[in-house]
Amino acid sequence: MDAVQDLIPEIISGLLTALPKIIQVGIQIISSLIKGISQMAPQLIKTFTDLLNQSLNAIVQNLPAVVKTGLDLILSLIKGIVNAIPQLIKTIPTIIKTIIDTIMSRLNELVKTGIEILVALINGMVAAWPSNFADFVESAWADLEYRREHSTRAVGRHSGQL
């Protein structure tokens, strides 16, 4: 264990000493890679273009078969649904009865929940009312009177200007 502990500082020191050379070699590798890619760019572009053209040509050549297969699949699904309609229609009453039975079996719970919702709404509305309801009504009434007066004056003022 002591030998490993003595070795770690030497390794770190060696790495720190070699770090500038490691960075320089890394930069040279990246520069060479970029230079090689840039020199190969015309060939890479041509290869990519050729690949794209071949892919598009293959798609265009096979498009009728792909569309036909897709249409065959859609038609098969439609035929399957049409063939299943009589059986589906037979099961509709069972589905409706099951839904109704389920609702009816939980009707008390549904009504209770509905009542709880209504009570919560009423409590919320009561809590939202101003503490002095009479002052609120008087203020609202005064505001309505004010608006009525001003709207009547505006109508009388502009009534002969058509």
1-38 pLDDT tens trace:
677 777 888 888 888 888 889 899 999 999 999 888 88
In the predicted structure, residue 131 carries a pLDDT above the cut 60: yes
pLDDT value at position 128?
A: 73
Domain count, the chain: 1
Query: Whole domain around residue 72: which residue ranges?
Result: 2-94
Residue 79 belongs to some domain of the structure: yes
The confidence score (pLDDT) of residue 126 equals 75
Instruction: For residue range 43-53, list pLDDT tens digits in order.
Output: 888 998 999 99
| Domain annotation covers residue 65 | yes
Mean pLDDT (the chain, rounded): 85
Q: Which range (35-39, 76-80, 97-101, 131-135) has the least confidence? A: 131-135
Q: Rounded to an integer, what distance in angstroms lies between the CA atom of residue 111 and that of residue 104?
A: 11
For residue 102, tell me if it sits in a domain: no
- Whether residue 117 lies inside any domain: the answer is no
Residue 116 falls inside a structural domain? no
Whether residue 118 lies inside any domain: the answer is no
pLDDT at 125 over 70: yes
